[in-house]
Amino acid sequence: MSVTTVKDRIDTIVTNVTGVNEVKDGLPRNAVPGNMPFAYIATADARVVQAGSAGDTLLLFERDYKIVLVIKPWAHGIELEVEAAAEPFFTRIYDVLWGNPGLHTFTAGVPNNDPLDYVFDTALTGDSGVVNIVVGGLAVVGVVFSLTVQEMTDQPGGA
């Protein structure tokens, strides 16, 4: 499965989280305060978890994805205000990604029966808490969620 397919599905899921104005394609070149809060999905580390045995060409492969939620521009002394603004997202992001092994989409808060082919499992492994981030040259405050996606894929050179 391609990274783009998985990122697109995460994008679709996060787009439907109440309060997220939009999910950008990749790292934004600019961060417009009026569009916040917004998110973008970034790829991170990847590793082979288990290689197939003799005659089996499948790999269990996992890749980490970062869901970067940009909440508001940074300003001195807004830490508590941003923490209060971030609080609902801690629950909402976990609600749609925790225990969602096939990266199902949701309709009105109910998971659809539409797992991604070859996605074996997912694990929302944590978040950064409220942190300062630079996006498009602007200092902003947000939260980075870490999602690990395991998928079955053919070994390079496999039949």
Q: Is 54 a residue whose pLDDT tops 80? A: no
Per-residue pLDDT of 129-143, as tens digits, reads: 999 999 988 999 999
Partnered with residue 47 across adjacent β-strands are 62
E-strand ranges in 5-73 read 23-24, 38-51, 58-73
Q: Model confidence over 82-93: pLDDT tens digits?
A: 889 898 998 999
pLDDT above 50 for 9: yes
pLDDT of 128 over the 90 cut: yes
Q: How far apart are the first and last CA of the chain?
A: 16
Q: Is 67 left (phi over 0), alpha (psi -120 to 50) or beta?
A: beta
**What element of type H or E holds 106?**
strand 106-107
In percent, how much of the chain has pLDDT > 90? 43
Q: What is the pLDDT of residue 125?
A: 93
pLDDT digits (tens, 9 = 90+) for 85-117: 898 998 999 989 988 889 999 887 788 889 998
Higher pLDDT, 7 or 59: 7
- For residue 108, the model assigns a pLDDT of 77
Structure letter (DSSP) for residue 22: -
Tell me the pLDDT of the chain averaged across its residues.
87
Return the pLDDT at 159: 45
Distance CA 28, CA 35 (A): 12
Query: Which pLDDT value is given to residue 129?
Result: 92
Answer whether residue 62 shows pLDDT above 70.
yes
Q: Which of 102, 148, 106 is nearest to 126 (CA)?
A: 148
Residue 13 pLDDT greater than 90, yes or no: yes
- Give the predicted TM-score (pTM) of the model: 0.87
Look at residue 156 and tell me whether its pLDDT is greater than 80: no
123 and 147 Cβ atoms separated by less than 8 Å? yes
What are the structural domains of the chain? 3-154 (3.30.2000.30)
- The shares of helix, strand and coil residues in the chain, as percent rounded to the nearest 5, are 20, 45, 35
Nearest CA-CA partner of 68 in 35, 95, 91, 93: 93
- Please compute the mean of the pLDDT values over residues 123-132 and round it to a whole number: 93
Q: Are 101 and 113 in contact (CB under 8 A)?
A: no
Q: Which among 142, 145, 47, 63 has a CA at the least distance from the CA of 96?
A: 145
